[in-house]
A and B are shown apart, each in its own frame.
Chain A
Amino acid sequence: MSLEKITQVTGRGVFVPGDDIDTDRIIPARFMKCVTFDGLGEFAFADAKTAEKAAGRLHPLDDSRFNGATILISGSNFGCGSSREHAPQALYRYGFRAIIAESFAEIFFGNSTTLGIPCVKMSKEDIADLAALIEKTPSIQVTLDLTESKVTTDDVDFVAEFTLPGHAREPLVNGRWDSIADLVDGLQDVKARVAAIPYLASK
């Protein structure tokens, strides 16, 4: 399987403020009644958008100034809760190709990496600065460089460092982010291990 080497992601950004944004919020459970992931993109943040409207506010994903954004920016513990891969699948199908947040829940982080969506951690201050730049100039191009661990923008003097653990960076930049090929390569070793473990060998 040949996958794209993801060394850089460039695009417009959108800031969705808030901490502890859970995967129910990203894709409410009723949209999981499906046997494929197709079509999930349009339901990303469906209830959050409605709630903002009801409160007389505009959810950032409903704000036309941010149409076409491919980089999602948010707060801490992003993607907590349910293990549903439907959440990163919905974000990917909506058009997001990278996520910047203060921190990520572990299962969401792994699910996203497997889909080739880099999830990078940046400080609260740098996120606030980047959000302010995007608010002022929504057309600004944001670039994540996975080799340099830096976020830059095209026309303003903004540089911020991010962190991405090696076990996620390596597969992304080397085009091995979907681990199935590596796992299949190890099948002989898998069978040997199964034979050596009593509760599996005896079955």
Chain B
Amino acid sequence: MAKTLLDKVWEEHTVRTLPDGRTQLLIGTHLIHEVTSPQAFGMVRDLGLKVLYPNRTFATVDHIVPTDQRAEPFSDPLADAMVKELRKNCAETGVTFFDLPTGNQGIVHIVGPEQGITQPGTTIACGDSHTSTHGAFGAIAFGIGTSQVRDVLATQTMAIGKPKVRRINVDGKLAPGVYAKDVVLHIIRHLGVNGGIGYAYEYGGSTFDNFTQEERMTVCNMAIEGGARVGYVNPDETTFEYLRGRPYSPKGAEWDAAVARWKAVASDKDAVYDDIVNFKAEEILPTVTWGITPGQAIFIDEAIPNPDELPEKDRATAHEAIEHMKLPAGTPAVGIKIDVAFLGSCTNGRLSDLQEVAKHIRGRKVSPSVKAIVVPGSQGVASIAEKMGIAEIFRDAGFEWRGAGCSMCLGMNPDKLVGDQLCASSSNRNFKGRQGSPTGRTMLMSPLMVAAAALTGEVSDARKIFGIS
């Protein structure tokens, strides 16, 4: 019988069926960071267990690291304690740690792919909901809680039910100035922030076939924002080329054997899906969020909707959004004043994101009313961007060029909004308080749209600002 990639990976990684009907699923690759792992290491110790396969867990530090003053001890003693705790746990258990001094530190979902640890046909888990990012390589990747981090440390497995699979096709060519970020915001707008509960999303169609590996990562990253814990794209030559020569990628004869396996793991042509949804690339325009969930999104030429004209199920959250955002219904997206521009995160903090923006902002200046920061997703990204002169372009334009980390995506480090500042952000969540100030406001958009807002001081159509047509 024809199978999906999910079927094949699930079958290969099934250890057994548990008494409650869930699968004891082998997790081939475990990624950890400083915020959701310390309690898990503590639980493993308390239970008298050991880290079973330390060579299959990889650590980095991203959530709480400062992006300006990188010297230790950090000014925040709690953050400093968390980094030291992870360092100690890794040293004691033999887990590889992409620590700050290694030059390979960064956001866990950027480090895994750039090291070649993220590979097709594998299972990956991490105590972070954006683990779905790794699905861009044809891996089945789950965000998990701390008790499950413990389970994976101690047994390299976790208990989980097999999801259904929804195939999401996007076909056609995106117009200039429309990006992967717009595609995923568009999908969430139409399928809802809870539409993916119980599903894995398999993204495909000619738009995805033509996407770069990094564009695929942007879409899979936000699968969870549509309620799908897992999102993936079938691996192809684009995937293999991305992985070739990376530190943890197979080498020599092992490479050829691996590519053969990776090709075979893709969904069969006649695979049967639990649901299929189709979108046309040509219908997608630059998109921004206006509310407090990633599904509350509009095209750049639209206005904030009247909650009472939305479907009944969306009204309560829409009213709450309008109260929080202090932007009345009917306000056009274009012209909304911003205070902060944040370029970075596991959604859009990769080299191609920074390259695309740098190409357009050369010689332009950030509006004096805007604080604009660029936070590369990893030390690797930062180092290449610096060598290529990209960092210089950002600095010349008036952006602050920072060290790698999660930064203002979730405001666990000193990079936070203040009061009710409004931030044009390339990150993934516009929840109330998400960017570190309880009353702070977030509008999600593509990196180039963030740059357009930074330059003009207000939400703008990047295609007009940069003469893209």
Chain A residues near B (Cβ < 8 Å): 17-20, 22, 24-25, 28-30, 32-37, 47-48, 50-51, 55, 75-77, 80-86, 88, 103-107, 110-111, 114-115, 165-168, 170-171, 174, 176, 178-180, 182-184, 186-187, 189-190, 193-194, 197-200, 202-203
Contacts and interface: CB of A to CB of B under 8 A. Distances in A.
A103 B159 contact: no
Contacts of B151: 179-180, 183
A89 to B, nearest CB: 8
Contacts of B297: none
Contact of A51 (B82, B146, B439): B439
B78 A51 contact: no
B18 interface: yes
Contacts of A76: 194, 313
Nearest to B44: A180
Contacts of A190: 15, 24, 26, 52, 155-157
Contacts of B352: none
B167 interface: no
Given A35-B81, A85-B36, 8 more contacts: A35-B39, A47-B432, A77-B197, A179-B151, A190-B24, A193-B26, A194-B156, A198-B258
A81 B127 contact: no
A186 B20 contact: no
Contact of A33 (B55, B56, B82, B434): B82
B208 to A, nearest CB: 23
Contacts of B154: 180, 183-184
A110 B155 contact: no
B13 interface: yes
Name the 7 nearest CB pairs between A and B, nearest first.
A85-B145, A111-B145, A47-B438, A33-B78, A83-B143, A35-B38, A179-B159
Q: Most A CB atoms within 10 A — which of B22, B78, B79?
A: B22
Contact of A24 (B79, B81, B156, B432): B432
Given A30-B412, A103-B197, A194 B20 contact: no
A80 B24 contact: no
Given A24-B431, A83-B129, A182 B159 contact: yes
Q: Most B CB atoms within 10 A — which of A35, A55, A86?
A: A35
B317 A186 contact: no
B184 to A, nearest CB: 16
B257 A198 contact: yes
Contact of B254 (A47, A170, A180, A202): A202
Contacts of B24: 182-183, 186, 189-190
A184 B151 CA distance: 9
Nearest to A106: B229
A105 B227 contact: yes
A30 B414 CA distance: 10
B76 interface: yes
Contact of A35 (B14, B82, B147, B194): B82
A77 B42 contact: no
B429 interface: yes
Nearest to A87: B145
Contact of B194 (A18, A77, A186): A77
B127 A83 contact: yes
B377 to A, nearest CB: 18
A83 B19 contact: no
Given A33-B79, A166-B20, A179-B159, A197 B26 contact: yes
14 contacts: A33-B78, A36-B42, A80-B194, A80-B227, A82-B129, A83-B36, A84-B35, A167-B22, A179-B159, A183-B151, A183-B154, A199-B122, A199-B258, A203-B56
A24 B434 contact: yes
Contacts of A184: 49, 154-155
B172 interface: no
B65 to A, nearest CB: 12
B261 interface: yes
Contacts of B323: 55
B209 interface: no
Nearest to A80: B193
Nearest to B195: A77
A121 to B, nearest CB: 11
Contacts of A114: 145, 147-148
Interface in B54-108: 55-56, 63-64, 76, 78-79, 81-82, 85
A182 B19 contact: yes
A15 to B, nearest CB: 13
Contacts of B26: 190, 193-194, 197, 200
B305 interface: no
A183 B36 contact: no
Given A33-B78, A106-B229, A198-B257, A180 B412 contact: no
A44 B412 CA distance: 17
B332 interface: no
A29 B79 CA distance: 12
A203 to B, nearest CB: 6
